[in-house]
Amino acid sequence: MADLRALVEDLGYADVHMLLNRGNVVFTAQRTTAGDSAARIQNGPATRTGVSAQVTVISAVELAAAVADNPLLGVADNSSRLLVAFLANPADRSRLMPLAKQE
């Protein structure tokens, strides 16, 4: 995780923090940062180590909206057991709908 943090910092992002030791990174990006953050972060490990991984970047506003819109907020009694997933391509949401209908 220290290597991932260093890589994100080397790419020019600030206030880099790792969450949960699972590859979740929180960082600050200047509006003038060139290029797509997800692609830049995804390409970094692949270039340095030959290991590739899918990267999804969301904004603080998107994260806050996911928390506020969580339909389980009223019934969940242990927030540490909640899981939130973000789709890299929102168009893929329709592929998940059959799962939502299962009991």
Tokens representing 33 are 């940062």
CA dist 47 and 51 (Å) reads 8
pLDDT (0 to 100) of residue 34: 45
Predicted pLDDT at 49: 79
All residues at 6 or more sequence positions from 84 whose CB lies less than 8 Å from its CB, including other chains? 66, 67, 70
Shortest CA distance to 29 belongs to which of 53, 2, 9, 45? 9
pTM, entire model: 0.73
Distances in Å between the alpha carbon of 65 and those of 55, 59, 92? 20, 10, 19
Please state the domain count of the chain.
1
Residue reference for tokens 């057991």: 81
Judged against a pLDDT cut of 60, whether residue 4 lies above it is answered with yes
For residue range 64-103, list pLDDT tens digits in order: 998 888 888 888 888 777 778 888 888 888 888 888 787 6
Q: Which amino acid is at 36?
A: D
Question: pLDDT at position 35, please?
Answer: 53
> Which domain covers residue 13, as residue numbers?
2-100
Contact by Cβ (8 Å): 26, 1:
no
